[in-house]
A and B are shown apart, each in its own frame.
Chain A
Amino acid sequence: MSYAVELVNISKSFGSVRAVSNVSLSIRKNEFFSLLGPSGCGKTTTLRIIAGLEEPDTGVVKLDGRDVTYVPTHKRNIGMVFQTLALFPHMDVYDNIAFGLRMRNYSEADIRRRVREMLDIVRLSGLEHRRIHQLSGGQRQRVALARALIVQPAVLLLDEPLGALDLKIRQHMMVELKRVQREVGTTFIYVTHDQTEAMVMSDRIAVMKDGVIQQVGEPYDIYMHPRNRFVATFIGDAINLVEGDYASPGVVKTSLGDINVPSINEYVGKKVVFAIRPEKILIGGEVSSDLDNVFVGRISLTIFRGAFIEYRVYVDNMEFVIFKPHVGVSYLLLKPGDMVKIGWRREDGILMPE
């Protein structure tokens, strides 16, 4: 089976800015795939190259196994939801959604039926004769989605479509997008700088920085096994990093003392970065004496975060971030200034090359 989209060694520069650098990706059919990275890392450019709105300097773009590097946009059978949505202001909801079918010369009767179906899927029935400026942000978002989906594209490209919405609607739309994707069974390539969005919706994520792909994998995989410091810090709410030497198998020497880690032979004798996620650290009464790693520190801050409590604990001059749900150690028992034990199991630690 061929991939829905394949990028082979794609590069693109604007003047002296290397927007996309040697990117290769294979995106499976019916996959919800996210391109995640900070502002200016080349996400939009990559998407525009897939759409044919930008020509790569080098490399090959394949759709469903076919080389389309020099095929014009309107012959690629892709759909795109733009960062600005770009809904046609001179048309109402119905005409916006019908546009792609009209370009393909469908009969008006056929168009009417398909638009109605699509309105159902994106839950906009009854609004077909509204003008674009009479819609809320979330509704516009759905119109843009419907307009792109109605031509049944092989791939739907979405460029930060939720960026303009406020948190509650964004959370709602994330679930909606996922639902629509399941319902229509199309490959989605979703661009975002918001790691939560990527984690919630994606089957797989590609993390990008300065035009270079850093890591590709399932959300769980990327979260649990980040390949480098950038991915580790970009994914997830927070992470604790300590630099050290991988002196002997299973032991990293750091300024805090020895840390027991999983033994990975290829790191022996090298400088490494040790990382541990905030929710993996045990604190206070949770720390038993036979835990692999135990340190003593002083609480500098406690923050009530709703679903969990965030502790900041200093061990020497390294500040650890620790997340705790409300069960177990109570918020009231540990206060800033208290000395506490913290610790974690060997297998919860993450090792990355320096």
Chain B
Amino acid sequence: MKWFDRFLKIYTYIILALMYLPIVVLIIFSFNESRSKVVFTGFTLENYYRLVNNFMVWDAFYNSIWIGVVVTIVSVLLAILMSYGVTRYSFRGKAIVDSIMLVPIIIPEIVEALTLLVFLVILGFSLSPYTIIIGHVAFDISFAYVVIKARMAGYDPQFEEAARTLGADEFKAFRKVTLPILAPGIAAAALIAFLESYDDFIKTFFTRPPGFLTLPVYIWNMASRRGFPLDLNALASFVVIISLVFAYVRRRVERGVLR
């Protein structure tokens, strides 16, 4: 079956190339001197200078980050409470709660965004950054929940009891033992929640007030404009690199979880 192994290997490389080549090309051409998207004529940082001097970019970046941070904190806190309830207590309808939490991960985002918009309109909300946050939280809480619950389900309350027999009161036992053991799971959940919010376009687009920019929305605005401006490459590269950094940190944290 040697040929099959080789086939698998090549197949894997092709898939990886399909996934990452466009990103690599995008990044390379963000340093291109000419407007061409096919010929690399010379190296320049011009596009990045323009980006740095564009206050709209800064505005969008700032919005993406603060919304991401708020969404992360809210989703993770809610997810911790929900996981605690589901793992430590038994109550009627527990299985249903558990499955409902997974729904946002499964249904198409565009459907979700539309429903969300209709829901907000019916309730008479006027669109604001807070409606964006509500939309993001409703979605990201599922990811945070899945990660934290897995961690909590594996947590043996005897660790806490052991700490108490060794002279720790309940608060100290929670802080010195329970929290550190759960921390990697909570950190992983926070990173996922942040990335999901920071990357999101569709729901943000549907629930934002007019003129409110996040990075993905700004990219869309630029891309949909005619002429496809050059600094778009630079901006997209910037967004991708931040995502990659987070993805890398997440992997490190997860490895910490397994250890």
List residues of A whose CB falls within 8 A of some B CB: 51, 53, 72-74, 78-80, 82, 84, 86-90, 99-100, 103-104, 131, 133, 147-148, 151
Contact = CB atoms under 8 A, between A and B. Distances in A.
A328 B165 CA distance: 54
Main SS class of interface, A: mixed
A147 B166 contact: yes
A73 B177 CA distance: 16
Contacts of B168: 74, 99, 103
Contacts of A79: 165-166
Most chain B CB within a 10 A radius of its CB, from A72, A74, A78: A74
Interface stretch (B93-101, B109-117, B155-163, B238-246): B155-163
B166 A53 contact: no
17 contacts: A53-B164, A74-B166, A79-B166, A80-B165, A82-B161, A86-B156, A86-B159, A87-B162, A88-B162, A88-B163, A100-B166, A103-B163, A103-B166, A103-B168, A103-B172, A131-B259, A148-B165
B162 A80 contact: yes
Contacts of A53: 161, 164-165
Contact of B164 (A73, A84, A89, A133): A73
Question: Which 4 pairs show the lowest CB-CB distances between chains A and B?
Answer: A100-B166, A103-B167, A86-B158, A86-B162
Nearest to A84: B158
Given A86-B158, A99-B163, A100-B166, 5 more contacts: A53-B164, A90-B181, A103-B167, A104-B167, A133-B259
Interface string B139-169: 0000000000000000010110111111111
B156 A84 contact: yes
A74 B169 CA distance: 6
B85 interface: no
B180 A82 contact: no
Contacts of A78: 165
A51 B181 contact: no
A30 to B, nearest CB: 20
B180 A100 contact: no
Given A88-B177, A90-B180, A82 B166 contact: no
